[in-house]
Amino acid sequence: MKKNLLLFVAIVLILSAISSVVPLLYLETRWQIDWENVPVDISTSNAKFRCMTVAENGDLWAGNDNGVVHISGQTWETYASRILHHIRDIEVAPDGQVWVITEKNDVLRFDGQSWERMPGTTVLNDIAITPDGTVWGATSNGLVEFDGKIWQPSTFDITDPDKNTNICAVASAPDGSLWAGGCSADFILFNIENDQVRKTDPTEGIGFITRISANALNQIWLYSMGVKSGINTAGYYENDQWHLASPSHLNRPGIGIDSVYDLSADDQGIAWIAKPNGLCRYNGYVCINYLKGESIYSVATAPDGSIWLGLENEIVQLSQ
C-alpha cells in the first residue's frame, strides 16, 4: 500500500512537471475583419491590431489603423471615420463606454450610439479606468484624471527628486488600486490606493515599465525594458514582494521575451505576452510559446479563460 501511494505521488509530480512545460491545447478561431466602411484615403490592407480589451460582459474591443472592432458572441461590427482610426489604446469602462487614444493623440469616447472627441490637448501615453468609473491618463508630467469635461492633473504626488514623472503605463486592479509605471531609466512602480502613493523600486538600472496588467488575484504583472543595462525582464508584484524573471532565461532570441508588444494577465496567475515571433504563456518560471513565427501585436484575457490576440488585420481567439 505504501509503495502504491509513493508511486501515485511520483506520477502526480511527473504530470505536474510535464504540464508546466508542455503547451496546453487550445481551440483556435480566426476572425478576418472586413473594413468596407473606412474612408478610402485612410483604409489600409495591412492594419495591425495594436490594442484590445475585454469588457465585463465578455465582449472584445480592438483597434488598428482602420478603426475599432467590436466582437460579441459570433458577430462583429466595425467603426471607422476620419477621426476614428490609427488606434493605439482602448479601454472599456464599467458602464460600457469605450475609450480610445489615436496616433494623433485624440481621445474619443463611445456611448453605444456615437463617438465623441474629448476636449483638451493633453497627450496620453496610456489610459486606465478604475472600478468606480474614474478615467486616468498617463502623461509625461504624471497622471491626469478626467473630471467629466477636461483632463485635470492628479492630486497625487508622484514626484521624485531622483527620477522624472514621465509615466509610460497605467493599469487598474480589481481592488480599486491604480498602478503606474515610470519611463525613467530606473525601475519604479507607483501604487495609488486609498488616496496614498507608494513608490516601489526593487532594483536599480533595470529599465522603464512599458506594460502593466492586473488580474483578479491582485497580482500586478509588468514588462520592463532595460535602458542602462540593456536587459529586459517581466514579472509580478504581489503581497509587497517582487517575482522577477531571470534575464538569462527570458532574453534568449526567439525563445524568451527579448522583445514584447503587449502583456495581459489572466485570473489564474498566468501572463500572456505578445511578441514579434509568437505568443508566450508565462507562469513566472517558464515561457511556453504558441503561434511561433506569427507577429502578435496585442493580447487580452477574458473572464471565461479565452485568450484574444491581435495580428495583422486578423483577430485570433484561443479557448479550451
Q: What is the CATH number of the domain that holds 223?
A: 2.130.10.10
2 domain-assigned:
no
* Grid cell in block for residue 109: 469616447
**Structural domain harbouring 239:** 27-319
pLDDT at 119: 87
pLDDT at 37: 72
What's the chain's Rg over C-alpha atoms?
20
- Provide the edge-to-edge strand list for the sheet that holds 51-54: 51-54, 60-63, 68-72, 75-79
Answer yes or no: is pLDDT of 12 > 60: no
- Nearest by Cα to 214 from 237, 186, 184: 237
56 domain-assigned:
yes
- Provide the edge-to-edge strand list for the sheet that holds 307-310: 27-32, 314-319, 307-310, 298-301
| Bridge partners for 92 per DSSP | 98
Torsion of CA 311, 255, 230, 128, to 10 degrees: 40
4 domain-assigned:
no
Dist. CA 258–CA 275, nearest whole Å: 9
20 domain-assigned:
no
Number of domains within the chain: 1
pLDDT at 311: 94
Size (the chain), residues: 320
Dist. CA 124–CA 141, nearest whole Å: 10
Interacting residues of 71 by C-beta distance below 8 A, sequence separation 6+: 31, 59, 60, 61, 62, 315
Dist. CA 157–CA 164, nearest whole Å: 12
Decide: 117 and 84 in contact? Cβ < 8 Å. Answer: no
Dist. CA 263–CA 81, nearest whole Å: 28
22 domain-assigned:
no
Angle, vertex CA 99, rays to CA 94 and CA 100, nearest 5 = 150
Could you give the 3-state DSSP secondary structure of residue 7? Answer: helix
pLDDT at 63: 94
In 10 A of CB 82, how many CB atoms? 9
Decide: 61 and 20 in contact? Cβ < 8 Å. Answer: no
Q: Would you place residue 272 in the very low, low, confident or very high pLDDT band (cuts 50, 70, 90)?
A: very high
Mean pLDDT, range 7-23, rounded to an integer: 39
User: What b/e sequence results for 278-287 when a residue is b if at least 16 CB atoms lie within 10 Å of its CB, and e otherwise?
Assistant: bbbbbebeeb
Amino acid at site 59: D
pLDDT at 24: 66
pLDDT at 18: 38
Question: pLDDT tens digit string along 73-105?
Answer: 989 899 988 889 899 999 999 999 999 999 999
Answer yes or no: is pLDDT of 279 > 80: yes
14 domain-assigned:
no
Q: Would you place residue 36 in the very low, low, confident or very high pLDDT band (cuts 50, 70, 90)?
A: confident
The better pLDDT of the pair 242, 66 is held by 66
Dist. CA 283–CA 150, nearest whole Å: 40
180 domain-assigned:
yes
244 domain-assigned:
yes
Dist. CA 255–CA 290, nearest whole Å: 11
Could you give the 3-state DSSP secondary structure of residue 242? Answer: strand
CA distances from 140 to 118, 167, 316 (A): 19, 6, 33
